[in-house]
Amino acid sequence: MDKPSSSLYPTVERFTGFADVYDQYRPSPPPALSDILTQIIRKPFLDLVVDLGCGTGLSTRFWADQSRQVVGIDPTSDMLAYAVSRTHTANVSYVFGYGHQVALASGCADIVTCSQSMHWMDPRLTLPEVARLLRPGGVFAVYDHAPPVIPNLEIGAALQAFQQREDALEEELGIAAQLPRWPKKEHLPSMQASGLFSYTREFYLHHIEMGNAASLVGGVLSSGQIQGLFKAGVSEKDLGLDRFRELAHRLLGDELRPWYFSVHVRIGVV
């Protein structure tokens, strides 16, 4: 298996070692996304979708029924191995690589996606590669899930406080400074400034998934941030995860209830 670039090694290491938790508890892409993108390019069945920063393949397998071929790209060997183990359709495959350096032919893709991954990619390098991969009229879609709206104010406030504790510890330990990262708020302006897209815009989609206490705690544990803190020697007690877990189980329990997700989408058409 190929090795990660040394400059991006901290990012790759951040997402190594918890692929099973990531795949189980991360939200799926919103169903409406495929309807909108295929209508934009006027092609209900696609030849090729390329999914950059695919992780465990959640956002790659999403396209399996609508495309002749789907290829997920990721530099994390651990995630890619899990993606392969979870994929049982012949038209979905995975390739080790980076968003700025994809071993596929120019003009090969109808759609290129980045699901919760573009902020780990340098737009100055990645956007030209995306434009190279897309056929004329093809679409680039960057999308990020906001934390779910859980109809329980106490657990919502506790989740915010827990995430603030994570941020503070990451800063205190100098972990954040080691990670090359680009702000999500800059995705659309970067696409517009690149001059590579004839049309750009942003919009929001909403969808519902079912969740309970285990889903909430699992979602927390699926974060590269908390896993990075564990690797730095921070304990669950230091984070207050033990108290948060107890509160989640007391307030939410095991019963599955609707959780409401918002997804911020930015698109560019070449």
Confidence grade of residue 6 (pLDDT, cut at 50, 70, 90) = low
Task: Map out the domains of the chain as residue ranges.
Answer: 6-146+181-208+255-269
Q: Is the pLDDT of residue 167 over 60?
A: yes
Q: Residue 125 and residue 99: Cα distance in Å, rounded?
A: 8
Q: Residue 55 and residue 117: Cα distance in Å, rounded?
A: 9
Residues 6+ apart with CB under 8 A from 64: 70, 89, 91, 92
**Which of 4-18, 79-93, 126-140, 213-227 has the least mean pLDDT?**
4-18
Residue in 141, 130, 136, 133 with CA at minimum distance from that of residue 33: 141
pLDDT of residue 2: 56
**What is the per-residue pLDDT across 75-105, written as a single tens digit (0 to 9) for each?**
999 999 999 999 999 999 999 999 999 999 9
Residues 6+ apart with CB under 8 A from 266: 141, 142, 143, 187, 188, 191, 200, 201, 202
**What is the per-residue pLDDT across 181-228, written as a single tens digit (0 to 9) for each?**
999 999 999 999 999 999 999 999 999 999 999 999 999 999 999 999
CA distances, 13 to each of 25, 51, 68, 177, 221 (Å) = 20, 20, 32, 15, 15
**What is the per-residue pLDDT across 150-165, written as a single tens digit (0 to 9) for each?**
888 999 999 999 999 9
Domain 6-146+181-208+255-269 CATH (choose: 3.30.420.40, 3.30.565.10, 3.40.50.150, 3.30.1360.30): 3.40.50.150
| Termini Cα distance of the chain | 33
